[in-house]
Amino acid sequence: MINNTLVATFMYKTTTVKVLQLAFTSALLLVFLLLWLKSEQLIALFIPKIESIEVSCPLQQRSCVIETKQGPIQLSISSPIESLTPFNIKLDGGSSPITRAKIRFEGFNDYMGINQFSFKQTSAANNLWNSRGSIPICTSMTKTWKVIISLYQGDQYSSYWFKIQTL
C-alpha cells in the first residue's frame, strides 16, 4: 500500500512538473512570437515588394534632389560621408506626404553589414526629416556604396537607390 501511494505521488509530481515546463515553454514562445510580430521585419513581409528605382544623386557633393512618384525630395549632408565618422542626413519631403522614411547603406560589390537608419521628423509643417548614422570601414582605399531611400506614405511604399563613393 505504501509503495502504491509513493508511486502515485511521484507520478503526480512528475506530471505536474512536465505540465508546468510545457506551460512555461509555451508562454515563452508566445512572448517571442508576439515580439516578432511587432517587429518591422515581419511588417516588411506584408508590404508588397516594389522594385527599388535607380536615381542620380551626387550626395557626396552635399545635396541632391530625387524625383519620386509623390514629388521631388531633397537629401543633404553637412560634410562628406566617411567611414567610422558619424554623419547627419537631412531629408526635405517638400509636398510629398511622407509618414516614415529610412536610409540604408549596402556595400555595392560586397556585404558590409546592416547599416540602416530611420529618419525622424523634425518639422511636420515643413516635412523635414533628419537621420544620424555611420558606416563601417573597408579594407580597400575607396568603397562604393549602394544607398537606398525607403519612403512610406501610409500603407504605400517606394524605394530609390543611388551609388556613392567613400574614401
The CATH number covering residue 101 comes to 2.60.40.3340
pLDDT level of residue 9 (50, 70, 90 thresholds): low
Between 33 and 102, where is the model more confident?
Answer: 102
* Residue 96 within any structural domain of the chain: yes
Please report which confidence band the pLDDT of residue 46 belongs to, taking 50, 70 and 90 as the band edges: low
Domain co-membership, 62 together with 130: yes
* 63 and 145 both lie in a single domain: yes
- Domain around 94: 53-166
Residues 129 and 96 in one domain: yes
Say if pTM beats, i.e. exceeds, 0.85. no
Does residue 152 register a pLDDT over 60? yes
pLDDT category, 2, cuts 50, 70, 90?
low
Model confidence pLDDT, tens digit, residues 78-117: 899 999 999 999 999 999 889 999 999 999 999 999 999 9
pLDDT score recorded for residue 15: 79
Both 111 and 152 in a single domain?
yes
pLDDT, greater one: 98 or 42: 98
- Same domain? For 106 and 141 the reply is yes
Average pLDDT rounded to a whole number, residues 133-160:
91
Query: Same domain, yes or no, for 28 and 70?
Result: no
- Please indicate, yes or no, whether residues 33 and 62 belong to a single structural domain of this protein: no
Give me the pLDDT at residue 47, please. 57
Least confident of 5-9, 101-105, 124-128, 144-148: 5-9
Q: Are strands 120-123 and 128-133 parallel, antiparallel or unpaired?
A: antiparallel
Quote the number of domains for the chain. Answer: 2
Residue 29 domain flag? yes
Say if residue 108 is in the same domain as residue 155: yes
Return the pLDDT at 163: 96
Q: Is residue 137 part of a domain?
A: yes
Residue 46 covered by a domain: no
**Considering the domain boundaries, does residue 123 fall inside one?**
yes
